[in-house]
Structure formats: structure tokens, C-alpha cells
Amino acid sequence: MIVVPRKDKVVKSILKTLLVCAAVFALAGFLAAQTTSPQTFPVFNPPPCDFNDTFYNVNGIDVNKLDQPAAGRFGIFRKQGPPSPDGGNNWTNDSTCSINNPDTTDVRILATTAGYPDDGSKTHTDFISLIAFVLDQSFFLQNFTLAEGDNTVTIANGLNPRGFSMQSIAGNFEAYAALKQILPGGTFAPTPCGTMGNGTTPCFPVTSVATPQLRQDWRFASNRNAIDGSSGGASTPFGYFCDDILGMWILTYFWYTDAGFGPHQTTQCNQMLAALASINGISLDGTPIIKTADELNFLEGSKVGTNPIPGFSGSSPPKPGCTAEGQEDVGGADQGAVWVICPTILDPQNGAIAPDAFLDAVRKPNGSFLDPGFQKQFNCLQTTGQFCPPTT
């Protein structure tokens, strides 16, 4: 038997639907207005927020570890202070976060950390949210089960339902951190303290990657994937935006060696560094800024297919190397970050850079940005919702 609704009931139903829709749009507008001042461009990319505890757990991260002070998780710790340069907030509460993305908490990230992409372009287009630091292997969950409706998500023996561990996924994506090597007294330290170093002094500390500790801006391998071969070398079986959905990185620290800079600098390194500085500028230490993988690999003594430094063939790298790189002890012996949770903003256009977000990039002593290109791009994104036109 077919029940034909009475006409007035149908009308009432339509009206009810319209009212609900209007209410939803009004609420959405209200919530959007809470987090952003009026933006004159299409806004459809929500700004970044911290993931919720469940999302961390189902992706293999122990939230109890993450909520320790040393991990510095946004939403609990580091509300003020670095990276905020002026005592402002690094994050704020925002009820739209979990509406836009149910996998997040209502903690919206204001500190927008800048970096060079690892594609060799030297562009100022990577922006990330440095949410928390992962200090040792105990942060990786071995077992977790979430029953939700008819579905169960299980982390068993450290492996996600696809059979991968978070540690192995994150190990494919490197964030390159450049810590200051000029110590407070003005001495150049050619080696890191801790397990990455050669045990000599002076050494530079590796316990913090907060922006004031950096000599230059980051470089992120967010472009890596196996499909187009961008991973280079032996293929990366994972894609950053496909598999690394927490946006985790393993930190690769890179530094200038004894031969590269300081009193024992070799003539070869001296010439190469001068040439690199002429195109990339210099860091807070007075060393050249390194923006690409080829530049770093070449200075480390590896033959590369390009000629990354003007006047020098890529097939004739320095020997000994002018730079070196390494990762911290995964057992936590270095007391610094081995991994970081800092997802790259997939598309920083059209609202992802909120009006109240601020740029977190390396600054000179006078407060200006070391690489003004990041500021320019950030401002374009924040005010127009688009990257700057290529000509500007």
C-alpha cells in the first residue's frame, strides 16, 4: 500500500527542510566568522587544526606520550612563546575545526611554519603546522583497537590495518633541520652534540628545533612518492599526502663540517660556499643557505646530475665534504626530536592561511625574516587566498 502524504504535510516538510538548511548555513557562517575576519576571496580550504586523540591512536601514535611537556603538543603546551615572536598565541580554540574535519580537535594552529619543498624549485610554497615532537620509539603504539559501529580499526603489533607501521611510513619523509652552529660566544661548532657528532668539542646542541634555534628555514620532502619517481634513489613506497596522513617526518639535521666552515675550512669549500651564497644568500651563521637536495648532497661530497653551485660541475663534489647530515638516536639519547608531527598544508590557498595565522620562519636579529620570500608568499595567501603572481 502506498501512502500519499497530505499536501499540507508536504509543504510543512519542505519548509522544515529549508529552515534546517538555512540554520546550518547561518551556523556555518557564524562559525566561520568566529575564526576569520571577512575574506574577499573564495574560502573552501579550512585552516589547519590538531588531530584528535582517536585519530592519533588509530594511526599508531600513543597520545599519552604526546601529551607530555617534552612533546610540546599544541592545544596543551606552547600556547605562547616560540615560535610566536611577540608573546602571541601559537594556537587558539576554534569550534569550526571539528566541524570542518571530524578527525581534529578544536585547536586551530596559528603558527604557520615555512619551508622549501624538496623538489629543487627553491620556491616558498611549503607551509606546515609543527604540532608536536616525537622523542623516541616509545611514542609508537604497538596495539590499539577502536570499535566504531560495524567497523573495527586495529593497530596490532605496531602495524596499521594495511600492515604498515607508522615508524616505517614516517621514515620515508625527511624534514631537514638546520640548527645554529655559531655558539653564543661566537665560536663555530662543526659537529653536533650527542650521538650524531664525532665526540669533539665545541659542538652545537640538538635538543630543540624551535625556530630561534635555526640558522635557516626548513626543507620538507612533501613531494616524495613512488609513482612519479620523485623519491629519488631507491623508491619510496609511500606518498606523503597519501600514506603519511599524520604528516609525520623523520628529522634529518644538516650542518657545515670542519672542512666546510670555520678556521679549518678548505679552499675548495671556501670557493663553493661563496658561490652558493651568491645565489641563495647567507644564514644567521654566515653560512650559505641550502635550499635543495642537490645543493646539500653535492656539498656533502656526492656527485649529482645537476650543477647546483655556479661555476662547479656536479660531477666534481668537494672532498672532504663541506656539509654532513644525520638523524637523532631513536632511543631518545639525544633528548631532542627524532620525528615531528607537522603536517604540510596540502593547499595553502583559499582560506587555509587564516587571517589570524602568523608566519613562523627564521628571523634576523632585527626581527625581519631571513628569507623575505616566505613572508611575501604568506601575505599573498592570507590576503588573496592565492599564491603571489609569478612576476611579483
Partner 1 sequence: MTSRESRTNRRDFIRLATAAAAFGPFFLFPDRALASQQTLKIAKWTHFVPEFDPWFESAAKEWGKQHDSKVIVDHIPVEQISARAAAEVKAGKGHDVFIFPWPPAEYQEHVIDHSEIYQTVAFKYGNVHRLGHRSTFNPKIRKYFAFCDSWMPAPLHYFADYWGEVGMALGPLHYNSLRSGGKRLRDKLGVPCGLALAPTLEGNITTHTLLYGFGGGVLGADGNLMIDTARTTEALKYVKLLYQDSGTPEQLTWGPAGNVRAMLARKSSCTINAISLLRVAEKQDPELAKKIMIQPPLIGFSGVFGLPHVTNCSVVWNFAQNQEAAKQIVADLVDNSKTAYEKSKGCNFPTHQKTVPDLVVRLQNDPQATPPWKYNALKDALHWTANIGYPGFSDPVTMEVFNSFIIQRMFLSVAKGERSPEDAGDTATAEVKRIADKWKHAGGENGPS
* Non-local CB neighbours of 356 within 8 Å, separated by 6+ positions: 35, 36, 37, 92, 110
Binding string, residues 218-237; x marks residues near partner 1 by CB under 8 A = --------x----xxxxxxx
CA distances to 20, 23, 57, 304 from 9, rounded to whole Å, are: 16, 21, 47, 74
User: Looking at beta carbons only, is 12 or 319 nearer to partner 1?
Assistant: 319
User: Looking at beta carbons only, is 182 or 193 nearer to partner 1?
Assistant: 193
- Asked whether the beta carbons of 251 and 209 are under 8 A apart, the reply is yes
> Cell 625581519, residue?
368
User: Looking at beta carbons only, is 109 or 141 nearer to partner 1?
Assistant: 141
- Asked whether the beta carbons of 341 and 134 are under 8 A apart, the reply is yes
In the range 189-208, which residues lie near partner 1 by CB under 8 A?
195-196, 198
Least separation in angstroms between CB 197 and partner 1? 10
The only residue of 328, 348, 353, 363 in contact with partner 1, by rule CB under 8 A:
328
Instruction: Establish if 318 lies at the interface with partner 1 (CB under 8 A).
Output: yes
CA distances to 99, 173, 237 from 224, rounded to whole Å, are: 30, 7, 9
Instruction: Establish if 174 lies at the interface with partner 1 (CB under 8 A).
Output: yes
Binding string, residues 242-261; x marks residues near partner 1 by CB under 8 A = --------x-----------
Give the span between the Cα atoms of 221 and 306, in whole angstroms: 19
Strand partners, 219: 116, 176
DSSP secondary structure string, 28-66?
Answer: HHHHHHHH----SS---SPPPEEEPHHHHHHTTB-HHHH
Instruction: Establish if 293 lies at the interface with partner 1 (CB under 8 A).
Output: no
Residue 156 carries which side chain, given as an amino acid letter?
A
Give the span between the Cα atoms of 142 and 153, in whole angstroms: 13
Least separation in angstroms between CB 187 and partner 1? 24
Instruction: Establish if 105 lies at the interface with partner 1 (CB under 8 A).
Output: no
Instruction: Establish if 137 lies at the interface with partner 1 (CB under 8 A).
Output: yes
Instruction: Establish if 331 lies at the interface with partner 1 (CB under 8 A).
Output: yes
Judged by CB under 8 A, the stretch of 69-77, 144-152, 168-176, 210-218 that binds partner 1 is 168-176
The only residue of 81, 202, 205, 326 in contact with partner 1, by rule CB under 8 A:
326
User: Looking at beta carbons only, is 39 or 268 nearer to partner 1?
Assistant: 268
Judged by CB under 8 A, the stretch of 119-127, 293-301, 356-364, 369-377 that binds partner 1 is 293-301
- Asked whether the beta carbons of 136 and 330 are under 8 A apart, the reply is yes
In the range 352-381, which residues lie near partner 1 by CB under 8 A?
none
Instruction: Establish if 297 lies at the interface with partner 1 (CB under 8 A).
Output: yes
CA angle 179, 185, 188 (to 5 degrees): 50
Summarize as ranges the residues that interact with partner 1 (CB under 8 A): 136-138, 140, 156-159, 163, 165, 167-168, 171-172, 174, 195-196, 198, 226, 231-237, 250, 297, 300-303, 315, 317-321, 324-333
